[in-house]
Chain A
Amino acid sequence: MALDRHGAATLGRLYEEHADAVFRALRRWGVSDSMADDALQEVFLIASRKLAEFEGRSTHRTWLFGIALRVARGVRRTRTHEAMGEIEPEGDDAPVDDEVDARRAARQLDALLATLDDAQREVFVMASLHDLSAPEIAEITGANLNTVYSRLRLARQRLADGLARSGRRRP
């Protein structure tokens, strides 16, 4: 399916602006690293089909996150149980560069997120990692505003407890 020139240019711009954030959100929502590329491609493939129907009632970012959330849910439904909850042991005192530190932190965060139920995880990732507003999250998830706040509060509490239990508090 080929887009017309204007649609192609629009999709290209959306990809440049949002692909990185969508990829991260997919990963934090439980899409494995090996599945993330395919999931990201699927998000923008769906976007290309729906582009002509986009009416501008929400932002492009909110729209794309809505698509990405549904793709992530689909991946979660179909995947076999993967090792998501293992916190990778940190190396002793070996110095790490920023990239390695970021990767470790992401894995640790993924492990903590895996302790949440899917609804809490979805809300927490959008609110705390991507700075989406509660109304935007409500629009994306279809939940009402109070539910969004409630899920976010419970997610924070559970993550804080999990972090404390992991015994990895930083000095």
Chain B
Amino acid sequence: MSDAREDDLGELGELIARARRDGPGAERLGAVRARLESQVGSLDAPPLPSASGGAVAITLGVAALAALTIGLAGWLVVRGGAPADEAASEDAASEAEAPAAVPSTAPGPPASPVPRDPTTEAALDGLRAPAEVLPRPDARGDETADAPRAPRGARWARDARGAPPVGSAVADTSAPPAPSADARASTLREEIALLDRALRAREAGETARARAALEEHAARFPSGRLRPERERMLAELAAGGTPAP
């Protein structure tokens, strides 16, 4: 309220300016905080894995997945062109998703380029439940403002289902047809683009835009292949935004 500042209040303003210097002091505030923590638990930020290491891992993981996707698409073409029927497509998808369970000479991407960190997972459990504790950015990133978003409840419900089962080389004929390899590659490209956008925004210090891109990824690909990277970045943002250089 600019018209109420002490500059405009004459001698009363002078008194206010002097009184403003009177405060409780750090020691007193610290004592109250200690009492508060005895009731609600520690108020310290949860420990997270090295932020800079996480960023490098994410970048490498995204690049590795992109390379594997290109290799997989090329291998399918060499093997006989695009799959002629859904069963062949299902086979290819199953082989690609379960390299450990099904012995195969086909190149398959690893389950995740970044090993899951139980600490981060635990932190993310905290992030998810009351995820809207922090104020949601009013002005979302320009390019994400119009993006379709799933209802929040549906989003978490889908997330809770987890990833589709992998490890079976036999197509389940009762299941809906799996997307073609092209569609899967396209989906992965979209995932990469979203995480890349989040990375760039974070590097530019625009945490709101970074978070918006990650939330868009979560809405569109709740169990996407880059979900571990998304969750790691969300945890890093919650811990303070940009990783240490």
Seen from chain A, the residues whose Cβ lies within 8 Å of a Cβ on chain B are 1-13, 15, 19-20, 23-24, 36-37, 40-41, 44-45, 48, 51-52, 54-56, 59-60, 98-99, 101-106, 108-109, 112, 124, 127-129, 131-134, 137, 152, 156, 159-160, 163, 169-170
Give the A-B pair count, Cβ closer than 8 A: 164
Seen from chain B, the residues whose Cβ lies within 8 Å of a Cβ on chain A are 1, 4-6, 9-12, 14-16, 18-24, 28-29, 31-33, 35-36, 39-46, 122-123, 125-127, 129-130, 132-136, 138, 238-239
A102 to B16, CA, bound (A): 9
A170 to B10, CA, bound (A): 11
- If over half of A's interface residues share one DSSP class (helix, strand or loop), that class is named, otherwise mixed; here it is helix
Contact partners of B29 in chain A: CB under 8 A? 15, 19-20, 23, 40
Q: Is the CB of A108 within 8 A of B15?
A: yes
Contact pick for A54, options B12, B36, B42, B135, CB 8 Å: B135
Q: A24-B23, A109-B16 are in contact. Are A10 and B1 (CB under 8 A)?
A: no
Q: Is the CB of B4 within 8 A of A127?
A: yes
Task: Report 12 cross-chain contacts, Cβ distance below 8 Å, ordered by A residue.
Answer: A4-B129, A5-B122, A15-B29, A20-B24, A24-B23, A56-B136, A101-B18, A102-B18, A102-B19, A104-B18, A128-B16, A131-B5
Distance (whole angstroms) from the CB of B120 to the closest CB of chain A: 11
Q: Is the CB of A1 within 8 A of B39?
A: yes
Contact partners of A163 in chain B: CB under 8 A? 11-12, 15
Contact partners of B43 in chain A: CB under 8 A? 3, 8-9, 11-12, 15
Contact partners of A51 in chain B: CB under 8 A? 130, 133
A45 to B40, CA, bound (A): 8
Contact partners of B36 in chain A: CB under 8 A? 15, 41, 44-45, 48
Distance (whole angstroms) from the CB of B27 to the closest CB of chain A: 11
Q: Name which residue of chain A comes closest to B127, CB basis.
A: A6
Q: A37-B31, A156-B12 are in contact. Are A108 and B40 (CB under 8 A)?
A: no
Distance (whole angstroms) from the CB of A91 to the closest CB of chain B: 15
Contact partners of A20 in chain B: CB under 8 A? 23-24, 29
Distance (whole angstroms) from the CB of B97 to the closest CB of chain A: 31
Q: Is the CB of A9 within 8 A of B4?
A: no
Contact pick for B41, options A8, A103, A156, CB 8 Å: A8
Q: A4-B130, A8-B44 are in contact. Are A60 and B135 (CB under 8 A)?
A: yes
Q: Is the CB of B41 within 8 A of A41?
A: no
A128 to B20, CA, bound (A): 10
Contact partners of B123 in chain A: CB under 8 A? 5-6
Contact partners of A37 in chain B: CB under 8 A? 28, 31-32, 35
